[in-house]
Amino acid sequence: MTATTVHQPTHREALWELEDAFERGDLITIFGRCTVEYDGRAASSLDPGRRLLILKPDGTALVHTDENQKPVNWQPPGSEHHAAVRDGRLRVRSVRSSPDETLDVRFETVEQLSAMAVSGRRDLSVTGSEADLRNALLDRPALIEPGFEPLATERPTDAGPIDLFGRDSDGRPVVVELKRRRVGPSAASQLQRYVAAIEREEGDAAAVRGILVAPSVTDRARRLLAEHGLEFVAVEPPSDGSVAVSTATDNDADVVDDDTDDDTAASSTAESAGEGSN
Amino acid sequence: MTATTVHQPTHREALWELEDAFERGDLITIFGRCTVEYDGRAASSLDPGRRLLILKPDGTALVHTDENQKPVNWQPPGSEHHAAVRDGRLRVRSVRSSPDETLDVRFETVEQLSAMAVSGRRDLSVTGSEADLRNALLDRPALIEPGFEPLATERPTDAGPIDLFGRDSDGRPVVVELKRRRVGPSAASQLQRYVAAIEREEGDAAAVRGILVAPSVTDRARRLLAEHGLEFVAVEPPSDGSVAVSTATDNDADVVDDDTDDDTAASSTAESAGEGSN
DNA sequence: GCCTAGGTCCCGTAG
DNA sequence: CTACGGGGCCTAGGC
């Protein structure tokens, strides 16, 4: 048996199980009615309610409710989990330093406590990152502009590292900022900041070009780019490592449907089951 | 009993439990050996391993391993959970559209499946946000500068909304950007962008001041501020709603220790239990 | 739906 | 340790 579970344990029984699970380095889930207090970089308080607490052997603590992807309260990896019975409650406290932070979960009742041996996240491979976009553009620099010659990636400047630096066919320095998704004002500012840094370096103002390469751009960002004489090149979002230019805002994505449901099946829709939020 | 659990169920048994739990709108945890495939905004693949899958009634799906705060794979709220038995495996698929995304978790074996009724995150109160800092400064605008007069918050401009806008004792427009923590280059760019927008509005270049208000600033950000004639005012990080100015980089935080462990207790340290990461 | 910015952002990487 | 920027960021608030 690789997963041990106790139902409606006494607080003392729960504490014993916690001790053993801490010792084994298990991932622990506790479900019950609890309050949550956090104090550290900010501070928060949560009234009694039924929630799921997850304790990881790396020091992570997560308090989840029935909605949202993010835990309602948490503690980062590297924290220390402590458990005790105080005032008739099971108290789980997760603490870390620098910064000093404490998460306090106090259970009135523990409905269930489980401990299980979980394996790490080996062999996760992701595609479609900004790095993939960069590599695709290094393979075919003409996608940015005919004659563009890449010289460096992550080129350091006084304002931070430039995604892609090179020269155009006229020999002018070109700062390229890559984004894997639609960009807003902050990306325009970022590019402008790098261009200004290179201009300061080169000492030859107004000769440095800046190109923002992304799937698309908001109106406001486009205006900000124009105000600073910066350019925009649209590329399809990186899917399988390849990229394509798109002259305007015309998107045509081929979707392959590989669904073949012909067996017993269950399904849950946010609208059909449970009380939908919003 | 508000939490139902089955241990080492057959896939068919697990499917029945899932159907019931979907119907009830429960929060579901499944622990077992599985593969994970994701395709959507990006794509990823995860080799077989023992992991914890969490399914929320709002459509959220989370795959957790033994380390890190973030799930190794996930699906956002609003997705639809589907379960089926295929090829001798329990397949849980979470799908959403716009953007089209699919998360596929295939269990070789299910060690445990639990379903529980969890309550929402009512009554979460947080303090120490940027909004708290803003309110404190509105109460005592002199903390920014003697004679500073706040005129608007979230004031719209062509470059985006300004945190705090006002005038100094000389009647000059002042753009204030607030940050709850130490700031880097991006905050300097953000402030610069807003100042430029106001200067364009006012038509009277160089008369607009920009002040970055934060606990501290990195060297590089400080230089970027100086290059654009922008200013920095240090405030203590917002703790209990009050703020204090600090003339330089001298931090003195009083820490109250309220720990009183005198009962049975268990504790887990990332270094002592389990295989520590890094 | 899109846009904009905050976040106890988390996280990896480089210095 | 700090710094810097990416992220399938997520989430809230406007429009």
Q: Report the alpha-carbon angle B169-B170-B175, nearest 5.
A: 75
pLDDT of residue A57: 97
In order, the DSSP letters of B127-170 are: ESSHHHHHHHHHH-GGGT-TT-EEEEEEE--TT--EEEEEE-TT
Summary mean pLDDT of chain A? 87
According to the model, what pLDDT value does residue B257 have? 32
Contact across the interface for A185 and B159, Cβ inside 8 Å? yes
Q: What is the rounded distance in angstroms from the CA atom of residue A165 to the CA atom of residue A130? A: 15
Predicted confidence (pLDDT) at residue B242 exceeds the cutoff of 60: no
Class of domain A130-234 (CATH, top level): alpha beta
Return the top range by mean pLDDT from A229-243, A253-267, B149-163, B230-244. Answer: B149-163
* A237: closest chain B residue by CA: B41
Q: Which of residues 83-102 of B touch A (CB under 8 A)?
A: 83-86, 100
Mean per-residue pLDDT for B242-251? 45
Under the banding of pLDDT at 50, 70 and 90, the label for residue A258 is: very low
Residue among A241, A171, A245, A239 at smallest CA distance from A213? A245
> Which of A79-88, B101-110, B118-127, B205-214 bottoms out in mean pLDDT, i.e. has the lowest?
B118-127
Interface test with B, best of A19, A58, A243, A259 (most B CBs within 10 A): A58
pLDDT one-digit tens code per residue, A26-74: 999 999 999 999 999 999 999 999 999 999 999 999 999 999 999 999 9
Tell me, what's the pLDDT at B240? 55
Point out the least confidently predicted range of A161-175, A223-237, B20-34, B237-251.
B237-251
Greatest alpha-carbon span in chain B: 77
Q: Which amino acid would we find at residue B99?
A: P
Q: What is the pLDDT of residue B22?
A: 97
Q: pTM for the complete prediction?
A: 0.89
Predicted pLDDT at A239: 67
Angle between helices A185-202 and B185-202 (to 10 degrees): 100
A256 lies within 8 A of chain B by CB: no
Per-residue pLDDT for A24 more than 50?
yes
Please give the residue that has the higher pLDDT: either B264 or B127.
B127
Please report, rounded to a whole number, the percentage of residues in chain A having pLDDT higher than 70. 83
B261 vs A84: CB contact, 8 Å cut-off? yes
pLDDT tens column, A130-157 = 999 999 999 999 999 999 999 999 999 9
Q: Which positions in chain B touch A8 (Cβ < 8 Å)?
A: 1
Residue B250: what pLDDT? Answer: 33
Q: What confidence category does residue B258 fall into, taking pLDDT thresholds of 50, 70 and 90?
A: very low
Sequence spans of domains, chain B: 3-116, 130-234
What share of chain B has pLDDT > 90, as a percent? 79
Q: Which residues from chain B sit within 8 angstroms of residue A78, using beta carbons? A: 270
End-to-end alpha carbon distance in chain A: 41
Task: Read off the pLDDT of residues B45-101 as tens digits, 9 standing for 90 and up.
Answer: 999 999 999 999 999 999 999 999 999 999 999 999 999 999 999 999 999 999 999
Token pair recorded at residue B146: 């003697």
User: Which H/E stretch holds residue A145?
Assistant: none
Query: Residue B109 above 90 pLDDT?
Result: yes
Distance CA A246, CA B172 (A): 45
Backbone region of residue A203 per phi and psi (left: phi > 0; alpha: psi in -120 to 50; beta: other values): left
Question: Is the minimum distance from the CB of A163 to strand D below 7 Å?
Answer: yes
DSSP state letters, A6-45 = EES--HHHHHHHHHHHHHHT-EEEEEEEEEEEEESSSEEE
pLDDT at B245: 56
Among residues A172, A178, A170, the alpha carbon closest in space to that of A154 is found at A178
CATH topology of domain A3-116: Protein Yojf; Chain: A; (2.70.180)
